[in-house]
Structure 1
Amino acid sequence: MNLQDTLTELFWKHLIAAHPERIFSLDKNYSVNQYLKETIQGLAPELEQWKSQGKSSRTIISLAFAHFKEGLGPSRYLYLEELLQQEFSTIYQQLQQSGTLTYELVKMIGAANHVFEAIGFSSVSSNSKRLRKHLIAFLADYLHQSSQSL
């Protein structure tokens, strides 16, 4: 497997695990494969530099992956999943058992975008008590409204 294929597979797996909402939005408006291809092409100068510096393939892959993750920022999906699991464990378990956890979390991310944007979700703010408090309140309201619409 060549370097581009390895990076494409690694980046794809990371998107699935930590940023599924990106896949949904890309799938609607843009090809995920095209996004990954352009992302890797954007890394071409760094890849060439690392190769010319004699770095091993393993090191190059690790550096490229770190660059990719940094560009994505922290995962809203993983953040909300953790909040849901800690603060609303019964609902979390129900969604997990029904097989709809990922789908519902992606919907929650879309609905909570205004909270993330207002507080400026970043690797620094992801530890913010203010962000946590606002998202817990949002989730409580969201889950209450969702249960009434069923």
Structure 2
Amino acid sequence: MICRTQGSYSEALTRGITYQVIDINNDKEMVRIKCDNGRLSWFPLYHFNMNSEDVIDLISWKFDDEVSNDANETNWIEISLKMSDGSERWCILYTPERLRNCLQQPNVYPTGLHIKHMIVVKSYNVEDIQSVLDYLNQEDELIGATLPL
């Protein structure tokens, strides 16, 4: 089985590594494997791809829009991502300030929003964005937070 997310088990599991199954308890949805630290341990099945299909990782990303540090802006920034399976994806980034500014515009309707492919980032600083994308990738949530390009 291939680990798709290590979750809180970073000392025992590595995303993308294939592990030999020692035992499976389907009733409890647990699997016993030999961990990175050499110990045999039980883990929830949702940490693994049961069909041994490869995990898709982030290779690179780039800004699709010019980044402005104007605190009064209301627009989001779009980025494109290249993935390890050769696919390309995209999403929008908002900072908390820009999102607040957007929702405070007069005559905004509806007065709230839900955008599946929106990621809220601390800032448009490259390191902050990379940190969020790496975290989502490690938690196997990046595909769900982006759309095919």
Q: Which TM-score band (shorter chain)?
A: under 0.3
Instruction: Identify the structure with the greater helix proportion.
Output: 1
- Report 1 or 2 for greater relative contact order, CA contacts < 8 Å, sequence distance ≥ 6: 1
Rg comparison, structure with higher value: 2
